[in-house]
Amino acid sequence: MDEFMRAAIEEAKQGLREGGIPIGSVLVKNGEIIGRGHNKRVQDGDPVTHAEIDCLRQAGRVGSYRGTILYSTLMPCYLCAGAVVQFGIPTVIAGESATFPGAREFMESRGVTVIDLDLDECKRLMRDFIENNPRLWNEDIGIDD
C-alpha cells in the first residue's frame, strides 16, 4: 500500500476517534499531499462534510486540478463524485467499494479514471462501523430508517 492511501486511512481512523464516520481522503499533486480530510458530519453537524469535501476544503484553492489524484478509503458518493467532476480531478483511488458502491460509473462516464484497491483494512473499518452504528451510517448515505 502506498503512502497516500496510508495517509487516507489515518484520516479515517482520526474521524473514528473523534466519534465520526471512518472515511478519510487525501489530495495529491506532484507527488505531495496538498489536502487531507475525514468525514466530519457528526463532529461538525454538517451534512455535507464528507471526507473528500473536507479534503478539498483543506487543500484550499489550488488553481488547476490537472494531474491531481484523490485518494479515499471508500468509493466516493454522488456528492463527492460531483466535486471530482466539477473540479476536473482526473484520477480517484478508492480503498474499497464492497461496503458502499458509490458513484464509480458516474465518474468514469465523465472521463475520471477510478481505481478500486479493494483493501481489507478499509473494508474492515467500514464493516465494523456499519455493524455498530447502522442508523448513523444510513443517515450518512441518505437512507431513512
> Binning pLDDT at 50, 70 and 90, where does residue 106 land?
very high
* Angstrom distance (rounded) from CA 37 to CA 59: 9
Note the pLDDT tens digit of each residue in 3-57: 999 999 999 999 999 999 999 999 999 999 999 999 999 999 999 999 999 999 9
CB 67 within 8 A of CB 89: no
Residues identified as active-site: 52
* Angstrom distance (rounded) from CA 7 to CA 37: 10
Copy the grid coordinates of residue 77. 458518493
Note the pLDDT tens digit of each residue in 59-85: 999 999 999 999 999 999 999 999 999
Q: What is the pTM of this model?
A: 0.95
